[in-house]
Amino acid sequence: MDLSKKHNIHFAGNPQASETLVFGHGFGVDQQSFSRIIPAFEERYRIVLYDNIGGGQSDISSYSYERYATLEGYVTDLMDIMTFSQGTPTTYIGHSVSGMIGLMAANRRPELFDKLVLIGSSPRYQDDPATSYTGGFDNASLQALFEAIQTNYEAWIIGFSALAMRNSDRPALAEQFARSLQALRPDIALGVAKAIFLLDQRQELPKVSHPTFILQTADDIAVPAVVSEYMERHIPGSTRIQINAQGHFPQISAPDEVIHALQSFL
């Protein structure tokens, strides 16, 4: 299948630019989640946008429970996308799970990447008492999450969208995220959630050889500040900043803060 159609790849920005930005979206949203970020970079950068398989306008027939049971399927996809779109030094900007996907892909194919930006990303969501690691979720809470998705997807969406988006004074943001989740097939949503929340890629962090920028919000239910602090300690030469934003989707709820932070890094 045509890779462009498979991942709904779009090119934006300045095709003659000397640098490229590739944006990777997180769970429950698609490339449109960056729509308020892109205009700030269109003049100076060549921009690549895509949808992960199972989300957005990607080819849903390409989704496989086996291939995407872990992040490895998504990592392979990203390496294909990066090869397809390569042309100039590339900064990969990954939100949530796509941040970790980008980091893993950069470790495997370093020549395809120049810099990494991780927005609300985590190497492991589950606590690990054996190593005193805090991920933010214990095993019981994750099992409850999976059960809620499986037994009453619509009810789970209502609760999760509000918790993840925060910004209770702007309920339209949570409603927007809820609509995006409703567009996901429930079985795919469950498969993706398990691939994300059960991952453990802490061993990948010390292998990073690219300049890495970690963005943390003030109140992220999915990725508490202690996680991004852990990442900063374990990714060589990385830089971490906490922006003035709430929730797991600052590119949607606080685009100006994200733009300013990205510009300072780029």
Active site residues: 96, 220, 248
Amino acid at 132: S
Is residue 61 classed as helix, strand or coil in its secondary structure? helix
Which stretches within the chain are classed as H helix?
3-6, 72-85, 97-108, 139-151, 153-165, 171-182, 186-197, 225-234, 250-253, 255-265
Nearest to 120 by CA among 160, 82, 90, 164: 164
Q: Could you tell me which residues are beta bridge partners of residue 246?
A: 219
Q: Could you tell me which residues are beta bridge partners of residue 124?
A: 200
Pairing of strands 212-216, 90-95: unpaired
Q: Do the Cβ atoms of 37 and 259 come closer than 8 Å?
A: yes
